[in-house]
A and B are shown apart, each in its own frame.
Chain A
Amino acid sequence: MARINHDTIDLWQGWQRRELRVDRCADCGTWVFPPRPFCPDCWSDTLVGTVLTGAGRLVSYSRPRVAPGAPPVVSGVVALTEAPGVRLLARIEGIEPERVTLGMQLALGWWEDAGGVYPQFGPVDADQVRLPADAARGADADADADAAGGAGQGAA
């Protein structure tokens, strides 16, 4: 089992359904991540999980050393376009590491290992080498997210 705790299990379980769900304050509209007990802006307890499409922008990245012969890893800080103030640490896939640039627009995908399902991001430009793994599922999620995002907006 992945190492998760009482504060993070809801988020983690969303990932296992390939769903990027971020809390938003129903009273003031603030997006809240990492998980917090209440809204850090207005202290309201009313946080509502809201599913996002996962459009993002690359804030910074590094390229950790990997074992000889292993595929390169790009470790990125991604700011979510739909949720100002929310960032994830995730792998950047679907692009040669040399072509990664700060500020590039990114789309959400998912990858899986024995421990679970995790978000990853890749370039949105279709001309890029390949989309992040599981782009098709990402497209399905988009439709759901539009509906959920709309409801979230209404509540705010």
Chain B
Amino acid sequence: MTGRERAAIVGIGWSELARDSGVGPGSLVARAARAAVLDSGVARDAIDGVVGVYGTDSPTLWPGYVVDALGLPDVRWWDTAQPPSVTALSTAANAVLTGNCDYALCYHGKYRWANTSVVGRGDPLRQAPAHEFDPGLDHALVEHGGSMLWAARVMREHMALHGSTREDFARISVNNRTNAARNPRAVFRTPLTVDDYLAAPMVDDPMCLLDMDAPIDGALAVVVTTERRARDLPHPSVLVEAFGSALPARNDGLLWPEADGIAARRAVGNLFARSDLTPADIDLAYPYDGFTILAMLWLEALYTKPGEGPALLRESWSDDEQRLRLFGRIPVCTHGGNLSEGRATQGFGSVIEAVQQLRGDAGERQVDAARSAVITGGMAGTNRSTILVGG
């Protein structure tokens, strides 16, 4: 909307993303953060805010570590945020817009930890719940149920209620892999076909191996400041047009498979209520694809009525290109998404990619005249979405 000051992303960086990086999680985050600061053109000593993604699955890196590892002398604001990574971006943007800091370094890292147990050994009832968001859903109350992979039940329900097929989900998986072939960051770059998808092993029927991202080591980072300060920095500005989120009641997919679709629709409504743009105006779409069913639900929330995602995908599919172009125009996950970059990224890869595209700096992936991108992130219990625009 006009008249509001917006935040800007002025620097991007990433570590190697790999199945086994051979270095520790601190090294990954520090390398990504250093690269983002160098890319931004902001002097190291001017970085006065640090926001890190921290929590879910396993702790990542505390901001204090990053301050020490990068030798940041004068940080006056720090915070942490849960995945998806747009949550951290929004926290950093709010910090620079309110003046709590001027230049916020914002990072995300993921590491394939071995499980550890530290406290509470003296109290057998002091247990972390199996489902980290809900202390009422204890291990004993759910783990006997056979599978904690809630998204498989979300997918099953979608197939039963709306007639979506494995071929429909295959189009998301194949599209992303086709795009990843041109993304040097991606871990999985070997092209796939729909037949490859259909032949992939089932993990939790109806969900197969190619419906989910794989755990990897890696870290990504951005530097955020205000639109006004961004004008003095070397790269073309990429502005944060809006954020949107939704946290409905009964948001736990373990018991409420319908929650993800409901939350996605509300979050998209809240996101576009903060902008003069509409989903059809957007040039690049980055639906969260930790699971293909989530990408399906986000695309439906953006562009169709509930249940009409499969038809959209069929109409948008190019057999020649083996990729999607929504309404003949809008490409989807131009970098290959979490499915190709791996589960270190949790949506942060979409931020990095969208910035490259909107700068006109995406190399052979560059989409002509791309001026805006929508990044939807997460699921019912944790989601945050954003619209980015070229300055």
Contact = CB atoms under 8 A, between A and B. Distances in A.
Interface of A: 1-9, 11-12, 15, 33-36, 40, 59-65, 73-77, 87-91, 102, 111, 115-116, 118
A77 B153 CA distance: 8
Nearest to B126: A5
Contact of A102 (B142, B149, B155, B160): B160
Given A90-B145, A91-B146, A102-B156, A5 B204 contact: no
A2 B140 contact: yes
B137 to A, nearest CB: 5
A74 B153 CA distance: 11
A91 B144 contact: yes
B203 interface: yes
7 contacts: A4-B125, A8-B141, A35-B136, A60-B157, A62-B146, A64-B205, A73-B147
Interface of B: 124-127, 129-130, 134-142, 144-147, 149, 152-157, 160-161, 201-207, 249, 254-257
B203 A64 contact: yes
B156 A89 contact: no
B152 to A, nearest CB: 4
A74 B146 contact: yes
A73 B146 contact: yes
B180 to A, nearest CB: 25
A118 B152 CA distance: 22
Q: Which 3 pairs, one residue from A and one from B, show the smallest C-beta to C-beta distance?
A: A34-B136, A75-B146, A62-B152
B156 A62 contact: yes
Given A75-B145, A77-B153, A87-B255, A62 B205 contact: yes
A11 B141 contact: yes
A6 to B, nearest CB: 5
Contact of B138 (A3, A64, A118): A3
A8 B255 contact: no
B45 to A, nearest CB: 46
Given A5-B126, A5-B127, A91-B144, 10 more contacts: A8-B136, A8-B140, A12-B138, A59-B153, A60-B257, A61-B156, A64-B149, A64-B205, A89-B146, A89-B255
Given A5-B129, A73-B147, A65 B201 contact: yes
A74 B255 CA distance: 15
A12 B156 CA distance: 29
Contact of B125 (A5, A91, A102): A5
A115 B140 contact: yes
A3 B141 CA distance: 9
A29 to B, nearest CB: 17
